[in-house]
């Protein structure tokens, strides 16, 4: 199932249960998967047209009036374009607005560099009070959306909107502020987010075949990062690799480095280099940016060699 379909179905449940839950779009409801909800919830769905700044501040006004607004757009327009509105109308004013950015990083594919946000987490991460969450698969997403809705405060959901491999199994229990350990290991810690998680699972298997016992942890919430889990794992294994579909500056790699700043532990990265995106399908872009299983294996070995 496409991630956006899962997201839309959970939002429909939430809107049915609570008339104060509402969604605001900036002409991209079809991309977000929520377009059909307009007919079902005419009093809870608002298309602002191509005006993201206005959308963000209107949502803040609605939140101040007791509503629980979710705003949606492509990732660059939901973050860097409205950074000041998120900072002031939403976060500084402590208005309970949820922000959904779809097509993170290379998943913008054929829309290319202008729509391919490699920097969205970096843009938002230094704004006080915001939670940054990036779901891995439909299991996690389905569990997370009600939790995010119930959380009182701004949350950015970095949503890969198409089909993606399922990583989490039945019985998965979601905690917004707790990272998920997918595999325990002793030789190095791999901290991974979003669409790269399934690749990291494969890489960990390949590493195991070569005798390297990797601990694999999904950091679904990049801010506030689960310091306890990151520190405990890094201290246990003594080597760290971060894996993310984001610029190496400002995202998961930076968050982990900040967490481990006082530890003498090597931290390697698989991430988008400090560059803009370009058009292409995901397999091509993975190669260009180094977001491959092979590169995860190589950088994991590098981290272990630095111990």
Partner 1 sequence: MKTDLKEICKDIRCDIMTCIGHLGVGHIGGCLSVVEALAVLYFQEMNIDPANPQMPGRDRFVCSKGHAGPAVYATLANRGYFDKAELLTLNQGGTHLPSHCDMRLTTGIDMTAGSLGQGFSCAVGIALGAKLEGDGAKVYALVGDGESQEGQIWEAAMFAAAKGLDNLIAITDYNKLQIDGPVAEINDVAPLDEKWSAFGWNVIEVEDGNDVEQVAEALRHTHLCADSGRPTMVILNTKKGCGVKWIEDLGAGNHNTKVSEEQARAAVAEIRGE
- Altogether, the residues listed in the chain come to a count of 307
Q: How far is the CB of 147 from partner 1 (least distance, A)?
A: 24
* One residue of 64, 111, 181, 295 binding partner 1 per CB under 8 A: 64
**Residue 176's Cα: distance from chain center in Å?**
12
* One residue of 17, 30, 36, 65 binding partner 1 per CB under 8 A: 65
Helix (H, G, I), strand (E, B) or coil at 242: strand
Which tokens is 252 given?
A: 């998961």
Which tokens is 62 given?
A: 């609605």
Contact criterion met (CB below 8 Å) for 248 and 291: no
Query: Does residue 38 interact with partner 1 by CB under 8 A?
Result: no
Which tokens is 3 given?
A: 């991630």
Query: Does residue 31 interact with partner 1 by CB under 8 A?
Result: no
119-131 in b/e form (b: 16+ CB < 10 A) is bbbbbbbebeebb
As a whole number of angstroms, the distance between CA 295 and CA 302 comes to: 10
Q: How far is the CB of 49 from partner 1 (least distance, A)?
A: 7
* One residue of 45, 62, 116, 240 binding partner 1 per CB under 8 A: 62
* One residue of 23, 58, 116, 131 binding partner 1 per CB under 8 A: 58
Query: Does residue 54 interact with partner 1 by CB under 8 A?
Result: yes
Query: Does residue 295 interact with partner 1 by CB under 8 A?
Result: no
Stretch binding partner 1 (CB under 8 A), from 61-69, 100-108, 150-158, 188-196 = 61-69
* One residue of 1, 17, 51, 166 binding partner 1 per CB under 8 A: 51
Q: Which of residues 85-114 bind partner 1 (CB under 8 A)?
A: 85, 87-89, 92-94
* One residue of 11, 28, 59, 157 binding partner 1 per CB under 8 A: 59
Q: How far is the CB of 57 from partner 1 (least distance, A)?
A: 3
Contact criterion met (CB below 8 Å) for 200 and 242: no
Q: Cα-flanking dihedrals φ and ψ of residue 116, to 5°? A: -105, 90
| 305 burial level (CB within 10 Å; 0-12, 13-18, 19+) | exposed
Query: Does residue 61 interact with partner 1 by CB under 8 A?
Result: yes
Q: Which is nearer to partner 1, 82 or 207 (CB)?
A: 82
Query: Does residue 41 interact with partner 1 by CB under 8 A?
Result: no
Other C-beta atoms closer than 10 Å to the C-beta of 303 total 26
Q: Which residue has the tokens 């991209």?
A: 28
Interface with partner 1: number of residues (CB under 8 A) = 28
Q: Which is nearer to partner 1, 82 or 240 (CB)?
A: 82
Query: Does residue 60 interact with partner 1 by CB under 8 A?
Result: yes
Q: Which is nearer to partner 1, 56 or 225 (CB)?
A: 56
Segments of the chain assigned E as strands? 21-25, 45-47, 68-74, 98-102, 131-133, 155-159, 180-183, 188-192, 214-218, 221-223, 240-247, 267-272
Query: Does residue 17 interact with partner 1 by CB under 8 A?
Result: no
Q: Which is nearer to partner 1, 45 or 293 (CB)?
A: 45
Please report, as ranges, the residues that interact with partner 1 according to CB under 8 A. 43, 46, 48-49, 51, 53-54, 56-67, 69, 84-85, 87-89, 92-94
């Amino acid at each position: 199932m496409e991630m956006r379909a899962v997201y839309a179905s959970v939002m429909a449940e939430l809107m049915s249960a609570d008339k104060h839950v509402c969604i605001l779009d900036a002409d991209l409801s079809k991309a977000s998967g929520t377009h059909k909800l307009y007919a079902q919830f005419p009093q809870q769905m608002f298309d602002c047209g191509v005006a993201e700044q206005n959308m963000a501040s209107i949502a803040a006004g609605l939140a101040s009036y007791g509503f629980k607004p979710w705003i949606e757009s492509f990732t660059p327009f939901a973050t860097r374009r409205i950074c000041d509105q998120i900072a002031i109308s939403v976060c500084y004013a402590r208005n309970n607005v949820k922000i959904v950015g779809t097509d993170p990083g290379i998943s913008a594919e054929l829309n290319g560099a202008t729509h391919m946000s490699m920097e969205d987490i970096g843009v938002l991460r230094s704004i006080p009070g915001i939670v940054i969450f990036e779901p891995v698969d439909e299991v996690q997403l389905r569990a997370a959306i009600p939790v995010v809705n119930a959380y009182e405060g701004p949350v950015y959901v970095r949503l890969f909107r198409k089909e993606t491999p399922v990583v989490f199994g039945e019985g998965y229990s979601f905690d917004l502020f707790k990272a998920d350990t997918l595999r325990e290991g002793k030789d190095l810690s791999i901290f991974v987010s979003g669409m790269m998680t399934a690749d990291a699972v494969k890489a960990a298997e390949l590493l195991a075949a070569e005798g390297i016992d990797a601990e694999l942890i999904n950091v679904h919430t990049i801010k506030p990062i689960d310091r306890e889990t990151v520190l405990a794992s890094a201290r246990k294994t003594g080597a760290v690799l971060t894996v993310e579909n984001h610029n190496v500056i400002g995202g998961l790699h930076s968050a982990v480095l900040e967490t481990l700043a006082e530890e003498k532990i090597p931290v390697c990265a698989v991430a988008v280099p400090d560059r803009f995106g370009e058009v292409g399908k995901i397999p091509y872009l993975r190669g260009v940016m180094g977001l491959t299983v092979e590169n995860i294996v190589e950088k994991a070995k590098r981290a272990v060699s630095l111990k």
